[in-house]
Amino acid sequence: MIILKDISKNFKIPLKKEGLIGAIQGLFTRKYTLKEAVKSISFCIQQGEMVGLIGPNGAGKSTLIKILSGILVPDSGEVEILGFIPYRDRKRYTQNIGVVFGQRSQLWWDLPVYESYTLLKKIYHIDTATFNNRLEEFSELLEIKKLLRQPVRTLSLGEKMRCELIASLLHNPQVLFLDEPTIALDIIAKLKIRNFITEWNKKNNCTVILTTHDLSDIQDICKRIIIINEGNIVFDGEMDTIIKRFSNFRRLVVSFSQDNISPERIFQSFSRDEKVSLRELEIAKGNNNSYLIRFSDTNNSIISLIDNILNNFSVYDIKIQEPSIEMIIKLIYEKKVNLSS
């Protein structure tokens, strides 16, 4: 159970002047700008929920997850997780959570993976039988058995991330925080990690909170998402709502291999029915011989649309663009999409 009430966090950022003289001046007088990283955020998460925290760079996701995991002390507001106040009851609290930072390792760089795990075993007081069982199970599931004797520094990014994940789960935490766990990973590595997290959540009813700016991570794993922008919660609700609302904002990018294409010609190729069902249609010329087609996709007319284009023109390439998080946030702000219903 996670309860957050009016949590705020500001950072003082020193304004550094340029050059050596500026640096010397900075020794005596420093000016600061105040950055409000998180502004009065409240939410509640039940045990066993899987929640995605998304938002553009600098939205406050990482700050929030650092407050939740007890690293940062919030400036104001209340936070209570599993009955603990994270930054105050740090020792007892951290015994019950697992944290993975995609961009930071908690394994010992020079040591073989297995040695790192034995240190964690000591740190978390895991008894030997439990430790061996869990390690056996996890390394089987995540296919890292062969890597256990290798020094961490020799692992690839994807291998390392799987090892990190195990490191954060050996003590069977009740809450798992994942800060961009799939950053810079290829699709296969991403899938392995996603599947593992989903399975593990089902089995242990552990709460998972995940930040990312890859929407597909969240689609696969989370039922609920919280969208954050500029330190505020923009949306907090079911993933399905978002998917439904924003599938309208898919765009089709078509590169034609024939000349003499114009938006009018594309439009004319549509059947009468399509012209009726395709509302808010926009066709714009892109680079080279490609065209951007945007429309409000009410009854999955995208398929018939593609069909139509392929029948009438000679096409070199066709792409469906999903809306990016930046675009979703923009649309929510401009109130083009109503999420309240």
Partner 1 sequence: MTVFHYPGLYLCFISQHLKKIFEYRLSFFIGIIPFILLQLSAIVVIWVIFKKVPHIAGFSFDEVLFVYGLGIVCYAFGRMVFSNLNNFGYRYIIKGELDAILTKPINPLFHILATDFSEKEIGELFVGIILIIKSIIGLKIHFGILELLALLYFLLNGIIIYGSINLIAVIICFWTKDIQGLTSPIMRIQEFSQYPVTIYGKAIRFVITWIIPFAFISFFPAVFFIRKEEFIGYIICIPLIGIIFPLIAYLLWLKGLSRYESSGT
Residue 90 binds to partner 1 (criterion: CB under 8 A)? yes
Q: How far is the CB of 106 from partner 1 (least distance, A)?
A: 4
Q: Identify the residue among 45, 49, 94, 117 touching partner 1 (CB under 8 A).
A: 94
Nearer CB in complex with partner 1: 90/250: 90
197 neighbors 177 (Cβ within 8 angstroms): no
Written as one letter, the residue type at 59 is A
- The whole-angstrom distance between residue 160's C-alpha and the CA centroid of its chain comes to 19
Judged by CB under 8 A, does residue 73 bind partner 1? yes
Cβ(38)–Cβ(64) under 8 Å? yes
Between residues 77 and 237, which has the closer beta carbon with respect to partner 1? 77
The rounded distance, in Å, linking the Cα atoms of 115 and 112 is 5
**Binding letters toward partner 1, positions 9-48, x by CB under 8 A:** --x--x----------------------------------
Report yes or no: 162 and 117 within 8 Å, Cβ to Cβ.
Answer: no
Range 98-157, binding partner 1 (CB under 8 A)? 99, 101-106, 108, 110-111, 115, 118-119, 122-125
Closest CA to 232 of 36, 9, 7, 41: 41
42-50, 67-75, 229-237, 258-266 -> range binding partner 1 (CB under 8 A): 67-75
Count of residues near partner 1 by CB under 8 A: 37
97 Cβ neighbours under 8 A, 6+ residues apart: 69, 70, 81, 82, 173, 174, 175, 176, 177
Q: How far is the CB of 236 from partner 1 (least distance, A)?
A: 23
What SS3 class is residue 1?
A: coil
Backbone angles phi and psi of 110, in degrees to 5:
-85, -15
268 forms beta bridges with: none
Q: Which stretch binds partner 1 (CB under 8 A): 45-53, 61-69, 250-258, 319-327?
A: 61-69
Q: What are residue 276's phi and psi, to 5 degrees?
A: -75, -45
Check if the beta carbon of residue 168 is closer than 8 Å to that of residue 100: yes
Shortest separation between residue 150's beta carbon and partner 1, angstroms: 14
> Which listed range, 55-63, 259-267, 319-327, 333-341, lies at the site for partner 1 (CB under 8 A)?
55-63
| Residues 293 to 332 in contact with partner 1, rule: CB under 8 A | none
State the nearest-atom distance from the C-beta of 29 to partner 1, in Å. 14
Contacting residues toward partner 1, per CB under 8 A: 11, 14, 58, 62-63, 66, 69-73, 90-95, 97, 99, 101-106, 108, 110-111, 115, 118-119, 122-125, 179-180
